[in-house]
Amino acid sequence: MNVVAIVTVVHRATDGELALTPVHGEALLTHTVRGLLDVPEISTVLVAAPQRCASSFSEAVGHLGCRVVPGSPREALAAIESELARDSVVLLHDALRAFIPAQTVRDVIAAVGDHPVVVPVLPMADTVKLTSASLITGTEDRNRLRTAQTPIGYRLSAFRPWDVTGAATVPGHPDAMRVTTDFELSLAEAIAAAPKNEETL
């Protein structure tokens, strides 16, 4: 079974630049790709890069031996799809989630054996309010809510980028935060500087 990880930025126009933010002396994207390459179950890591960022992304990760494909995750997968077996697993990972533990990645890969799509999630800690016209109209039951993380695991035949309708879930991890704010950047610096163990990417 092949396991292919596709790293990408999709949520905001500025995410491409955020992925190049220095963390402990290297671009955030570099940490993301290196972490995935350190998971033995993953055979290939591709980076789907916005056209404007393709050159910068290549500079950040080219020395790691991964391939940067300008374009969408679908275009990245198409570049190697003919080489994949039918039972291959595709992981779609947010470039800004650089420090997800290796065990969480393995849990996603293992769960794809039983489910076509798998998402790591965390319980919602905050109270969630419903509003209308700046007024609180109700309270959502947070016991039913989860925050979704990546990598999202897909069977090759079920690959629909970012479509997780009906997906199974596995436990996520706090270290898999998206690094987008100064506070999160401070946490990322601390994680990157901490002694590594086999469970941390």
Instruction: Tell me what pLDDT residue 133 has.
Output: 86
pTM greater than the 0.95 cutoff: no
- Select from 141, 138, 111 the least CA-distant residue to 126: 141
Instruction: Tell me what pLDDT residue 197 has.
Output: 61
- With helix as H, strand as E and coil as C, how does the chain read? CCEEEEEECCCCCCHHHHCCCEECCEEHHHHHHHHHHCCCCCCEEEEEECHHHHHHHHHHHHHHCCEEEECCHHHHHHCCHHHCCCCCEEEEEECCCCCCCHHHHHHHHHHCCCCCEEEEEEECCCCEEEEECCEEEEEECHHHCEEECCCEEEEHHHCCCCCCCCCEEEECCHHHCCCCCHHHHHHHHHHHHCCCCCCCC
Instruction: Tell me what pLDDT residue 200 has.
Output: 45
* Type of residue numbered 129: K
In tens digits, what is the pLDDT along the chain, a chain of 201 residues?
799 999 999 767 678 889 999 999 999 999 999 999 999 999 999 999 999 999 999 999 989 989 999 999 999 999 999 999 999 999 999 999 999 999 999 999 999 999 999 999 999 888 889 999 889 999 988 888 999 999 999 999 999 999 999 999 999 999 999 999 999 999 999 999 887 765 444
Would you give the distance in Å from CA 7 to the centre of its chain? Answer: 7
Instruction: Tell me what pLDDT residue 1 has.
Output: 78
Instruction: Tell me what pLDDT residue 94 has.
Output: 96
Please identify which residue in the block is written with the tokens 């039913």: 144
Please identify which residue in the block is written with the tokens 């980028």: 161
**CB of 52 closer than 8 Å to CB of 16:** yes
CA-to-CA dists, residue 59 to 49, 52, 145, 154, angstroms: 12, 13, 39, 29
CA-to-CA dists, residue 65 to 46, 60, 96, 108, 131, angstroms: 10, 11, 19, 24, 48
The fold of the 3-193 domain, in CATH, is: Spore Coat Polysaccharide Biosynthesis Protein SpsA; Chain A (3.90.550)
